[in-house]
Amino acid sequence: MTAEPGNGALVALDVGSVAHGGHCVARYDGRVVFVRHSLPGERVLARLTDAAPDAPFWRADAVEVIQASPDRVPSAWPAAGPDGVGGGELSHVSLDGQRRWKAAVVAEQLQRLARIERDVVVEAAPGDAERGGLGWRTRIELVTDARGKAGMTRHRSHEVVPLTSMPLASEAIADLGLFDRSWPADTRISVAAPGSGDRPVILVGGAVWGSHGPDNRANARTSVREEVEAAGETYRYRVAADGFWQVHRSAPTVLVSAVMAALGDVDGARVLDLYSGSGLFTAPLGRAVGRSGSVIAIEGDPRAVRDARRNVHESRHVELRHGPVERLLAAEEGGAVDAVVLDPPRVGAGRRVIGQIAERAPERVVYVACDPAALARDLSYLAGHGYRLEDLRAFDLFPMTHHVECVAVLSRVRGTD
């Protein structure tokens, strides 16, 4: 009896369909193997990276391509290849191929978890084709090794891999020379260089860092200014440099435009903005509802709420509430609302919050999602409360990675009160 191969062994695999998470599905002697750095239809030599004998599935990295897919291209970021850092797992795939990959994942999750059959098209963000899908990140997170060299952790590991460049970072970040400098050892570096042209902010271990070391001034800048132009309006924000903000330079404009178009005319409406963050959607919603409408924005992160207070301070009919969405919705006694916008974390909103939304009987729900599985699960919950998916747009706001952003639009079916 031949022993099964273990971690580090090389096996030849015929690669099947894409799966959620940045890998494809193959089989070895009947066992499912999730293979990174491969493409559907390829035959590859793969190194097993997680092949415990009793594991329900194995993991592997394709290290040699025996038969290549037409969508395979030279890697745009070799350091994110096999046994490399995380964050660029699709850098070997053409941009069109990446979008088809993500469309297939979204469609499969909708069908499997929500029983929704839908053709999905993933839209490119403005400027990405010209840049080859690179240079889009306005925020990056790095870690340093024991020698103080900046890099990222190896995939599924805490080991720091020093880098010489980060091709997904914007030009403003690339110009900082982060990989040419020495930093404090074993620490985290956060960099924000907003698309508005505001000066970048570097935080090292949470402290502001200047060109020659720590910036200990009392007025050292810890936030950046962002500017979003959407639907003929300009919105200005101030956001903590290490706070949450969409990292793609075009994402705020793309998403605000999509959400506001999905809502339609909300003048005079009562709107809930859930998981509202620093107010990306709250500010345009505040303008759109007019003086006779109202917006209640709920966010659990106290720092984000502080940013939002600055960003919507001119909107007298916007009410910001700090606390867990589930708890505050349970305490909210305001009754019905006309529309709900929600942008939950990767895990989604969940059954309880979806039920609380449905209790308020909004005519329209606009759901912004960064994880298609969580979105599909929550859409199934909404369907159970009488909501129908009217439209879904998917955006490639994370080129070279498996991540995809979706905006789903749901309406309440009449007779489900």
**DSSP 8-state secondary structure symbol assigned to residue 51:** -
Q: What is the C-alpha separation between 237 and 260, in angstroms, rounded? A: 18
Using CB atoms within 10 Å of the CB of residue 407, give its burial: 0 to 12 exposed, 13 to 18 middle, 19+ buried.
Answer: buried
Q: What is the rounded radius of gyration, in angstroms, for the C-alpha atoms of the chain?
A: 23
Tokens 């966010």, residue located: 299
Tokens 């902010």, residue located: 201
Clarify whether 24 is annotated catalytic. Answer: no
**3-state DSSP call for residue 174?**
helix
Nearest to 312 by CA among 215, 414, 413, 238: 238
Tell me the DSSP string of 279-328: TTTHHHHHHHT-TT-EEEEEES-HHHHHHHHHHTTT-TTEEEEES-HHHH
Cα distances (Å, whole numbers) of residue 50 to 10, 88, 255, 401: 12, 20, 37, 21
Q: Where are the alpha helices (DSSP H) in 191-301?
A: 251-263, 282-288
Q: Out of 44, 103, 370, 407, which one is annotated catalytic? A: 370
Most distant pair of Cα atoms in the chain: their distance: 77
* Residues recognised as catalytic: 370
